[in-house]
Structure 1
Amino acid sequence: MTHDSTGLRRLLLVVADGVRHDVLADEMDAGRTPALAALRARGSFHAVTSSFPSGTGPAYVPFLMGRHPARVGLPGLRWYDRARSLSWAPAQARSYAGIDIWHVDGDVHADVPTLLDLARPSLAGMSMLGRGAKHGRIGRSVAWMLRAAPSHFRGDLLGWRRVEQQATGAFLSRFAAVRPKVSVLAITSPDKFAHAYGSDSAPVRAAIGDLDAAVAQAQAIAVRDGWRDALHVWVVGDHGHAPVSQHDDLHGWLEAEGLRVLAHPRLHVRDPDVALMVGGNAMAHLYLSPGERTRRWWPTHAARWGATLDALLARPSVDLVATASSATTVEVRHATRGAAVVQRRESPTGPRWSYLTTTGDPLELGDSLHDLDAGTAWEATSATPYPDALVQLSWLATAPRAGDLIVSASPDWDLRARFEPVSHVSTHGALLRPQMLVPLLVDLPVTRPPHRTADVVPSALDLLGISCTTDFDGRSFLRGTPVSAAG
Structure 2
Amino acid sequence: MTPRKLVLVVIDGLTPTMLEGSLGDSSTPTLTALADRGTLGRATTTFPSLTPVCLSSIATGAHPDVHEIPHLVWWHRGERRLVEYGSSFGAARAAGLGRTLRDTLVGMNSEHLGKDAVTVFEALADAGVRTAAVNFTAYRGRTRHRPTVPFLVPVLGPERFFFYNLFQSERTGAPLSFRNRAAGSIDAYAAAVGRWLVTRDGFDFLLFYLSDYDYASHAEGPDASSAVLARCDAAVGDLVRAAGGLDAFLERYAVIVLSDHGQTLVTEIARLGDRFRHEPETLVAASNRAAHVYRLGPSAPRARALAERLDGEPSAGVVLFREEGATVARREGVELRLEDASAGTRSSGDAAILDQPDAITRATAALRCPNAGDVVVSASEGWEFEDLGGRHHLGGGSHGSLVAGDSLVPVMTVGLQGAVLGSVVDVAPAVLAHFGVQAPTYAVRTAA
TM-score, length-normalised on structure 1? 0.76
Query: For residue 411 of structure 1, what is the amino acid of its counterpart?
Result: E
Q: Equivalent residue of 1:411, what SS?
A: coil
1:131 offset after TM fit, Å? 1.2
1:390 offset after TM fit, Å? 0.8
CA contact (8 A) 1:284 1:407 kept: yes
Give the share of equivalent positions with the same residue, in percent: 22
Q: Which has the larger displacement, 438-447 or 230-239?
A: 438-447
Query: For residue 187 of structure 2, what is the amino acid of its counterpart?
Result: E
* 1:104 aligned residue (102, 105, 108): 108
Is 1:323 the equivalent of 2:294? no
Q: Please give the alpha-carbon distance, in whole angstroms, between the structure 2 residues aligned to 1:305 and 1:6.
A: 53
CA contact (8 A) 1:330 1:398 kept: no
1:464 offset after TM fit, Å? 2.2
Number of the residue aligned with 1:286: 293
Q: Equivalent residue of 1:163, what SS?
A: helix
Q: Equivalent residue of 2:353, what SS?
A: coil
CA gap of 1:345–1:396, structure 2 versus 1, over 3 A, is farther
Write out aligned runs for 1:355-434 (5 A).
Answer: 355-357=347-349, 360-363=350-353, 384=355, 386-416=356-386, 419=389, 423-424=393-394, 425-434=396-405
Deviations 1:288-335 (A, max 9, x none): 1x147xxxxxxx976x565543231211111111011245x2000010
Deviations 1:207-255 (A, max 9, x none): 2223222222212223389775121121111111111111101134433
Structure 1 residue runs without a partner (length 5+): 85-90, 261-272, 293-299, 365-383, 478-487
* 1:232 aligned residue (236, 254, 273): 254
Number of the residue aligned with 1:311: 309
Number of the residue aligned with 1:48: 43
CA contact (8 A) 1:458 1:475 kept: no
Query: For residue 370 of structure 2, what is the amino acid of its counterpart?
Result: P
Q: Please give the alpha-carbon distance, in whole angstroms, between the structure 2 residues aligned to 1:36 and 1:244.
A: 28
Structure 2 residue runs without a partner (length 5+): 87-99, 142-156, 169-174
CA gap of 1:230–1:115, structure 2 versus 1, over 3 A, is same
Q: Please give the alpha-carbon distance, in whole angstroms, between the structure 2 residues aligned to 1:469 and 1:17.
A: 26
Write out aligned runs for 1:160-175 (5 A).
Answer: 161-175=184-198
Q: Please give the alpha-carbon distance, in whole angstroms, between the structure 1 residues aligned to 2:227 and 2:16.
A: 15
Deviations 1:154-201 (A, max 9, x none): xx7515x21331243124313433521111111111111111111111
State the Cα RMSD in Å. Answer: 2.9
Aligned residues, how many? 405
Number of the residue aligned with 1:454: 425
Is 1:471 the equivalent of 2:447? no
Number of the residue aligned with 2:7: 12
Q: Please give the alpha-carbon distance, in whole angstroms, between the structure 1 residues aligned to 2:438 and 2:445.
A: 15
Number of the residue aligned with 1:265: none
Q: Please give the alpha-carbon distance, in whole angstroms, between the structure 1 residues aligned to 2:397 and 2:357.
A: 20
Q: Equivalent residue of 1:57, what SS?
A: helix
CA contact (8 A) 1:313 1:321 kept: no
Write out aligned runs for 1:32-431 (5 A).
Answer: 32-84=27-79, 91-97=80-86, 98-99=100-101, 100-102=103-105, 103-106=107-110, 107-119=112-124, 120-132=129-141, 133-142=157-166, 157-159=181-183, 161-177=184-200, 179-201=202-224, 204-223=225-244, 228-255=250-277, 258-259=278-279, 273-279=281-287, 281-288=288-295, 290-291=296-297, 306-327=304-325, 329-335=326-332, 338-345=334-341, 352-357=344-349, 360-363=350-353, 384=355, 386-416=356-386, 419=389, 423-424=393-394, 425-431=396-402
CA gap of 1:305–1:41, structure 2 versus 1, over 3 A, is closer
Query: For residue 286 of structure 2, what is the amino acid of its counterpart?
Result: V
Q: Please give the alpha-carbon distance, in whole angstroms, between the structure 2 residues aligned to 1:343 and 1:301.
A: 25
Q: Please give the alpha-carbon distance, in whole angstroms, between the structure 2 residues aligned to 1:447 and 1:185.
A: 22
1:445 offset after TM fit, Å? 6.8
The runs of at least 4 consecutive aligned structure 1 residues that moved more than 4 Å come to 146-149, 224-228, 304-307, 445-449, 473-477
Q: Please give the alpha-carbon distance, in whole angstroms, between the structure 2 residues aligned to 1:51 and 1:125.
A: 22
CA gap of 1:172–1:407, structure 2 versus 1, over 3 A, is same
